[in-house]
Chains A and B, each alone.
Chain A
Amino acid sequence: MSNDGVPQKSVVNNVPSSDFAKEVEKEFGGEGIMKCIQCGMCTASCMVASMADRYRPRKLIQKILLGKREEVLSSELPWLCMTCRLCEERCQEDVNLAEIFHAVREIAAREGYVPKIFQNTINKVLEDGWLLKDAYTDFVEDDRSDLGLDPKLDWNDDFVKKVKKRYFNGGNKK
């Protein structure tokens, strides 16, 4: 407390709340999040965590459990999971982290938080029907012919337009 009687301005870092965890729980794939006991098995297994100090899957779950909704949704962290599922294999409480992070990504996307690279790739695939149209050069076509493979790649680009119309609004998620 200060000496001169003037009240200090208090800084609130986070008001703990289960609301965000409950929201994630209701989302497809997010069901098991409350089972986490924060033991660290996931982080110890995670190759991304081993190579990138900023990413700790256990801490990300903790942030969700503590209710740091805005911070988590606007952050790149949920998008750093490689979905390799080594954490899921080992978690003794049966928490499916990759699924939970996918659920978080879906919520984030609804609020407009999608990393650029993801958004660009999604736009491309919804446009072309597949991902590597621009990479299919003449050289590759020749390689295919030499190997006896059909040089014509018969990808359908109609269906993705329907998908885009139904589930995405002008490229951004509905």
Chain B
Amino acid sequence: MKEFVLYTGCTTPVRLPAYEAAITIVLEKLGVRLIPMKDANCCGAQYVESVSHTAFAAMSGRILAIAESMDRDILAVCGACSGSLKIVKHDLDHNPDLRAEVNDLLAEEGLKYTGTVEVKHLLQIFNEDIGYDAIKAAIVKPYNGVRLAAHYGCHVTRPPEIVQVDNPETPVIIDKIIEIAGATPVDYTGKTRCCGGPMLAMDQEVANKIGLDKIKNIRNERAQGIVTACVFCDIQLTQVQFGDTAGSEPKIPVLTLPQFLGPALGINFDKLGIQLNKISPEAILQVT
């Protein structure tokens, strides 16, 4: 069984524990075991990242070093964490001074970053480590053509030269998995646009407008649900539909990718935390 160390980031364990549970159980079923990372810290995305590049490198660098000490590659399930860890890895690999600085700080704990660890986002595990054939073979209860819109997330797919997850302009991994599981992937205007999540700090109104614009474009294609690959996007696309400016249209359920795939693999809803989803996806989880 392939093993990865799971780095959840700050948000998933608290705001979307269902995502954590679903990933663990779905990947286990597909032959990938996840070992939780102990004694971790925040990756430093967005906030520390903005004010001190070195401090940011230190924070993400420590995560990389812990994985190295566990002799396992990292699986990041939050887009922002995935982006941070990959970018910091790139910076540390190409910048000996920065690496020396960070290692100096890590040495006190007996940790060291030498560059042997790889960082993968969830989509890479499906595409590269498990493979579409294995996923197809594991489908026991296919969907019945339900129309679903994939939302990849900005930090998952960009900048492509560094993160190397999927084609940023025409990403396919989530859409392929949707198709393999028997549902219908739906394209929509602005598919690669941001969900608005990062804007919540500075201007919530603008963040909501951006999120609702995405929901509107998805609704225009008569999609019955949204499948996400980043905890932040999932929370944002859910909560914008509850705001004052959301309108009165029926809410579109938002599902994380493992919660979508799980039922098709024969996994029980409650093991995937479906009951915790704010907008119930039960109507679309009609597996045969």
* Cross-chain contact A143 with B20 (CB below 8 angstroms): no
* Cross-chain contact A132 with B17 (CB below 8 angstroms): no
The stretch from A11-19, A56-64, A146-154 touching chain B is A146-154
Give Cα A47–Cα B193 distance, bound, in whole angstroms: 7
* Cross-chain contact B11 with A167 (CB below 8 angstroms): no
Q: What are 19 contact pairs spanning A and B, CB under 8 A?
A: A82-B199, A83-B154, A83-B198, A84-B154, A84-B158, A86-B192, A89-B158, A89-B168, A96-B159, A102-B53, A106-B52, A118-B51, A121-B201, A125-B44, A131-B10, A140-B14, A156-B41, A167-B54, A167-B55
Nearest Cβ on chain A to B200's Cβ, whole angstroms: 9
* Cross-chain contact A28 with B41 (CB below 8 angstroms): no
* Cross-chain contact B158 with A85 (CB below 8 angstroms): yes
Residues of B within 8 A of A135 (CB): 14-15
- Checking A148, A159, A166, A173 against B41 with a beta-carbon cut-off of 8 angstroms, the contacting residue is A159
B13 is an interface residue with CB less than 8 A from chain A = yes
* Cross-chain contact B42 with A149 (CB below 8 angstroms): no
- Checking B109, B158, B206, B273 against A51 with a beta-carbon cut-off of 8 angstroms, the contacting residue is B206
Using a CB-CB cutoff of 8 Å, which residues 27-74 of chain B contact chain A? 36, 38-42, 44, 46-55, 58-59, 62
Could you mark each residue 144-179 of chain B with 1 if its beta carbon is under 8 Å from any beta carbon of chain A, else 0?
000000000011001110000000110000000000
* Cross-chain contact B17 with A125 (CB below 8 angstroms): no
* Cross-chain contact A140 with B202 (CB below 8 angstroms): no
- Checking B109, B202, B210 against A159 with a beta-carbon cut-off of 8 angstroms, the contacting residue is B109
Q: A52-B203, A102-B49, A125-B48 are in contact. Are A130 and B194 (CB under 8 A)?
A: no
Top 4 nearest A-B pairs (CB, nearest first) are A84-B194, A109-B51, A84-B154, A82-B198
B265 is an interface residue with CB less than 8 A from chain A = no
* Cross-chain contact B206 with A52 (CB below 8 angstroms): yes
Could you mark each residue 162-174 of chain A with 1 if its beta carbon is under 8 Å from any beta carbon of chain B, else 0?
1100111000010
Residues of A whose CB lies within 8 Å of any CB of B are 28-29, 47-48, 50-52, 76, 79-80, 82-86, 88-89, 96, 102, 105-106, 109, 114-115, 117-118, 121-122, 125-126, 129-132, 135-136, 140, 143-144, 147-150, 153-157, 159-160, 162-163, 166-168, 173
- Checking B15, B158, B202 against A79 with a beta-carbon cut-off of 8 angstroms, the contacting residue is B202
Q: A47-B193, A155-B41, A167-B52 are in contact. Are A162 and B105 (CB under 8 A)?
A: yes
Q: A48-B206, A106-B53, A143-B17 are in contact. Are A84 and B198 (CB under 8 A)?
A: yes
B18 is an interface residue with CB less than 8 A from chain A = yes
Using a CB-CB cutoff of 8 Å, which residues 225-259 of chain B contact chain A? none
* Cross-chain contact B21 with A149 (CB below 8 angstroms): yes
Decide if the interface of chain B is mainly helix, strand, loop or mixed.
helix
* Cross-chain contact A86 with B47 (CB below 8 angstroms): no
B50, B52, B213 — most chain A CB neighbours (10 Å):
B50
Kindly report which residue of chain A lies nearest to residue B168, judged by CB atoms: A89
13 further contact pairs, Cβ within 8 A, besides A125-B48, A130-B10: A28-B53, A48-B210, A52-B203, A82-B199, A83-B154, A84-B154, A136-B14, A144-B13, A148-B271, A156-B40, A159-B58, A166-B55, A167-B55
* Cross-chain contact B18 with A147 (CB below 8 angstroms): yes
Kindly report which residue of chain B lies nearest to residue A78, judged by CB atoms: B50
- Checking A84, A118, A150, A156 against B201 with a beta-carbon cut-off of 8 angstroms, the contacting residue is A118
Nearest Cβ on chain B to A162's Cβ, whole angstroms: 6
* Cross-chain contact B17 with A118 (CB below 8 angstroms): no
Residues of B within 8 A of A163 (CB): 48, 55, 58-59, 105
* Cross-chain contact A83 with B58 (CB below 8 angstroms): no
Residues of A within 8 A of B201 (CB): 117-118, 121
* Cross-chain contact A166 with B158 (CB below 8 angstroms): no
Residues of B within 8 A of A82 (CB): 154, 194, 196-199
Give Cα A75–Cα B108 distance, bound, in whole angstroms: 39
* Cross-chain contact A122 with B15 (CB below 8 angstroms): no
